[in-house]
Amino acid sequence: MFHEAGFWVAVSFVLFFVFFGRKLWTPIVTILDSRAERIRQDLDEAARLRREAEQMLEDATRDREQALAEAKTMVEQSLRHAAEVAEQARKDAEAAVKQHEQSARDRISAVERAATREVRQAAIDVAIKASRQVIAESLKEDGASALVDRAISDLPAALARPAA
């Protein structure tokens, strides 16, 4: 056993760690502790960044929902406004049609009155011509004088009657 190389390697390994272990252990532990602290800080930073990202996601989701709600409200208002405008246009068109109808009725009535006057005037003219012709043919000189006298005597009564 004392002649074997593996034995002496093991003994030298143990003695090396007994003599130099404390001196080597302290820097190794310090290095490992500092690395563990850096990893802990990195993990804390990652957790903080994750919380910030989640908060930003919540804010963005909330903003998106608000924007959708605003857009929906704007669309509803636009539809109501369009319906109001369409209703007002329909009312205006109906009023314009009624006005045109009334104007056409008034023009038709005016044309009818003018036509009636023309027909009456033509009838009066024909009646006067026919009366002159009949009177001229049927009345003699003394009959005409009697007719004029009677018309003059009836004149005050005709003027006293109210005009129809």
pLDDT tens, residue by residue, 37-50: 999 999 999 999 99
DSSP 2: T
User: Between residues 56 and 157, which one has the greater pLDDT?
Assistant: 56
Cα 48 from Cα 41, distance rounded (Å): 10
Lowest-confidence region among 47-61, 91-105, 136-150:
136-150
DSSP 162: P
Domain ranges of the chain: 5-120
How does pLDDT run across 82-110, given as a tens digit for each residue?
999 999 999 999 999 999 999 999 999 99
HSE-up (13 A, CA, CB side) for residue 136: 6
Is this prediction's pTM over 0.75?
no
Cα 156 from Cα 151, distance rounded (Å): 10
